[in-house]
Chains A and B, each alone.
Chain A
């Protein structure tokens, strides 16, 4: 009950934000929601099923490029193009997954392969002239106001509410998944693959389901990215730094938990913004000073809260005993 109430309050606060927030604050909040969404999608693979993907931006990029290319070249609206993006990403996820899992690739070796695929795709897209190559792919913008959901065109407030709906939607989906049979299989897999196998759980299929689902959902985030920023570059869309940004939120917030990715995004994005603001206000001009402070902050969080912020916060709020929501985020993956 307490958790549901807190969630509703959080949702209400986010829903009311555009009424009071400045355009700048709203843009920061869009980024918060965007990373909360992506973190949640990544968390399905790593947090739930224990499969580390370090190249997750591959699916962001594929979703973004597929939907953007259809729009730029053929005028296909976002509402239709997104299915192409999701499908391409799911196929890519299935390919990465079946290649690795068929040959028993596990742990860091699997993670390395995910990086390889993302990097390979980045280089491929740099050399695809039809999609702009290194020069970038730009989406024409005819409308910057109003609400046109079909074409995903409209005011910043509309994009904000789309991001909010996506984040709320994926939260509910993850909550459902955790309590479903596949969620159970994933948790078993995450805790002890050998034991799960001995129980007759189809390891290959469960892992593949996690990767494919996570990839498809991540691609949806990519579609949002494409139509929100209207410019795509291979280095950005498929670059390693993006993959890291996706996974920082859930790790800081609490791996394998439902609230972790949201909390992580709420902490990290404003932290980055504050550091930018503070270093400028204090007159630090050295290159990389922002990154340095950001890195130090992350170190501090991971040093003092190795399981993430949410498990600790939950204990502080005494929500441990409050299990009636069945959110199943006890015993996060380590």
Chain B
């Protein structure tokens, strides 16, 4: 569904991505793991059209979206839940959600999608008129996910969804991702929580210094000595 070939990205002189290639099959959960600064967020930002790659190709459902602006990429159904949630704290929960449906793709069915999101996240319904900044971390993460769903994505890239959440909330967020996946969503999961994400993932890769160091099924990577040493501390 998503094919990335030899992607290069520079921030000034610093190379953030060096020939990254990755295939995300439709209906899969693909995990991208790696240390801080390995290029995980850069990869997501480049796919989403928020950073312009210096080289390489990004294909989404056969469409070459390399260098497309983010609003066009979003409108193809490629959504993202950004690191740190990026909700609008001074707007209400409902307003935050409605903003997710501003792209043409989400606009028409916005009212129906809103009901569905509220069904999925009853907590958000309870707090719909509250300012988003007053929500707990976990609720904010749900809001960020719900907001992304408002744009009717077919693939969602999650950037560190468990960051800064309590262990109970981390479990809940992962359960939500699995449920969305079961409903047919393709998932790209960038996580520091390596053990959990590899267990969930059909397919996974390890980014190191801007390139793919190890690649394989989630189960395979869990057995890999390098992964166990570097990321699982075993």
Contacts and interface: CB of A to CB of B under 8 A. Distances in A.
Given A184-B98, A194-B82, A200 B88 contact: no
B71 interface: yes
A201 B80 CA distance: 13
B67 interface: no
A95 to B, nearest CB: 21
Interface residues of A, number: 20
Nearest to A333: B90
Nearest to B89: A191
Contact of A200 (B74, B87, B95, B98): B74
Most buried by A among B48, B69, B102, B151: B102
B73 interface: yes
Contacts of A201: 71, 99, 102-103
B102 A200 contact: yes
A185 interface: yes
A197 B102 contact: no
Contacts of B82: 194-195, 198
Nearest to A197: B70
Nearest to A256: B90
A331 B90 contact: yes
Given A191-B89, A198-B82, A201-B71, A185 B102 contact: yes
A200 B105 CA distance: 10
A199 interface: yes
B102 A181 contact: yes
Interface string B91-124: 1000100111011010000000000000000000
B211 to A, nearest CB: 25
A330 interface: yes
Interface in B61-91: 69-71, 73-75, 79-80, 82, 86-91
Query: For this complex, into which size category does the number of interface residues on chain B fall?
Result: 20 to 34
B50 interface: yes
B151 A331 contact: no
Contacts of A181: 102
Contacts, number: 68
A187 interface: yes
A188 interface: yes
B147 interface: yes
A230 interface: no
Contact of A194 (B86, B100, B102): B86
A202 interface: yes
A176 to B, nearest CB: 17
A142 B45 CA distance: 63
Interface string B130-146: 01000000000000000
A330 B80 CA distance: 28
B50 A198 contact: yes
A273 interface: no
Contacts of A331: 90-91, 131
Contacts of A202: 69, 71
Contacts of B100: 199
B110 to A, nearest CB: 10
Nearest to B151: A200
A200 B91 contact: no
A204 B102 CA distance: 15
Interface of A: 181, 184-185, 187-188, 191-192, 194-204, 330-331
Q: Give 6 closest A-B pairs by Cβ, nearest first.
A: A200-B74, A331-B90, A195-B86, A200-B103, A202-B71, A191-B88
Given A185-B102, A187-B95, 16 more contacts: A181-B102, A184-B99, A185-B99, A192-B86, A194-B86, A195-B88, A199-B74, A199-B99, A200-B74, A200-B105, A201-B71, A201-B99, A201-B103, A202-B71, A330-B90, A331-B91
14 contacts: A185-B99, A185-B102, A191-B88, A191-B91, A192-B88, A194-B82, A197-B50, A198-B50, A199-B99, A199-B103, A200-B73, A200-B75, A200-B102, A201-B103
